A and B are shown apart, each in its own frame.
Chain A
Amino acid sequence: MSQMNEQFGFEREPLPEFYEADLVDVDAQLADALTLIEVPEGLEDRVFAASVRDLPQEAVPAGGYSFVHVLRTRWISSGRLAMAACLGLVCVVGSWMLHAHNASQNQLASNSPKSPLPTIPTQSADTDNGAVMLASLEKMSSDSVSAADGGWLWMDYARQEISVDDLDQELSAMMKSLGAGDEM
């Protein structure tokens, strides 16, 4: 049979059947002894005063918060984290795209079409023409894009993959396209 603890305001759960009678008596003695702990006067008021200021001010729906509300508040509360994650993602994607672009440029450059023209039998015969070509290339170096294109042509010439005449024609066409053909 359960007993009411008047001081603490609860009903004590009865002991299970397997408890011997003498142990039930000890349990009852404990119940009497422990009610002697005195609760300070005014404790309830002090506890209430200390805690009531933190009572929620926002009205909670009768059925509790909806899933959408919880999702929204949690999303807002973690907004900074989401923002940081987005920025990080943008940085990673941007870096990857830049890297991919550079790689494709290098790939295109290395696979640039080679001239099918026959190679020059000897380089010594074209020494004077080579000096002229070098001077032209130096002149073209004012424009970075033209200089790069000219560089590729010069490399082809150095590898003896194109003839001097072809190199001259290519450079002339390039200078004309840049508006510098009159100076050649």
Chain B
Amino acid sequence: MPSGSPIDRDGEDIGEHLRQAAHGDEQAWRAIVRMYHARVFGLIRSQCGDPDLAEEITQSVFCTIVTKIGSYTEQGKFESWLFRIATNRLRDEMRRRKRQARPVEMDTLGALANEASKEERLMGRGGAGRAVDHPEEGASDRELGALRDAMSKLSEADQMIVHLRHLAGLKFNQMAEVLGEPMGTVLARHHRALKKLKELMEQGGVRDGEE
């Protein structure tokens, strides 16, 4: 078993799930879907901004994976493979629909944050279901607004790197495999994106202060 295989919440190796699923084991396949469906959906949803389209593409990605799982040999790169299929499918779908991938809908995030804050005040804790588990640790509304504005000003490539890290949960070497770029390039771009985000948030804060 390759040592690079990720471990699920129950401590099981994804490689074992993949082998069993290749045998036709439905429970093993369900475990794989459970592990990755939210991450794939989150990445697609953040890039396309359309929850219905994101769900459609997510289902399509897993349908593609399941048809190829019989011939797949796990070498610790399942996540890179999965998210490369996901990003390719998203790009194809965007081309097919003759529109550009919209940046993450931080408006939606802001609305969710406001809703969560309201429910928190009403219920005494984060009330947005699975969306906010630890609202006391989250960014404030103002910081979230600044972050929303700043994210919308990043290039799509920089946004993708941020989303691959925080939604897909990929390591930098996995991002490099998905994007087909050297790891140094990915690291440099991520560093530059965070720096730009910080500058944009500071500029937004200054403008808010002046107003």
Contacts and interface: CB of A to CB of B under 8 A. Distances in A.
Interface of A: 5-13, 16, 18-19, 22-23, 26-27, 29-40, 43-44, 46-48, 50-52, 54-60, 62, 64
Contacts of B42: 8, 34, 37, 39
Interface residue SS majority, chain B = helix
A31 B33 CA distance: 22
B109 interface: yes
Given A33-B139, A38-B128, A59 B41 contact: no
A92 to B, nearest CB: 35
B58 A8 contact: no
Nearest to A27: B194
A18 B184 CA distance: 13
Contacts of A12: 165-166, 169
B195 A37 contact: no
Contacts of A22: 198
A18 B108 CA distance: 33
7 contacts: A26-B194, A26-B198, A33-B147, A34-B46, A34-B167, A56-B70, A59-B24
Interface in B93-111: 104, 106, 108-109
A54 B63 contact: yes
B21 A55 contact: yes
B39 A10 contact: yes
A51 B197 contact: no
Contacts of A37: 42, 45-46, 108-109, 112, 131, 167
Interface in B188-205: 191, 194-195, 197-198, 201
Contacts of A18: 191
Contacts of B198: 22-23, 26
A48 B116 CA distance: 29
Given A13-B171, A32-B137, A34-B163, A60 B70 contact: yes
Given A8-B42, A33-B106, 11 more contacts: A9-B8, A10-B39, A10-B169, A12-B169, A23-B194, A34-B109, A46-B55, A48-B29, A51-B63, A52-B66, A55-B69
Contacts of B106: 33
Given A7-B133, A19-B194, A43-B37, A64 B55 contact: no
A97 B68 CA distance: 47
Given A30-B147, A47-B59, A7 B130 contact: yes
A37 B106 CA distance: 9
Contacts of A50: 59, 62-63
A35 B143 contact: no
Q: Give 9 nearest A-B pairs by CB, closest first.
A: A10-B169, A56-B70, A38-B131, A32-B138, A23-B194, A51-B62, A34-B166, A13-B171, A51-B66
B90 interface: no
Contacts of A40: 41, 51, 55
A23 B6 CA distance: 27
A9 to B, nearest CB: 6
Among B37, B46, B109, B163, max chain A CB count under 10 A is at B37
B35 interface: yes
Contacts of B191: 18-19, 23
B154 to A, nearest CB: 11
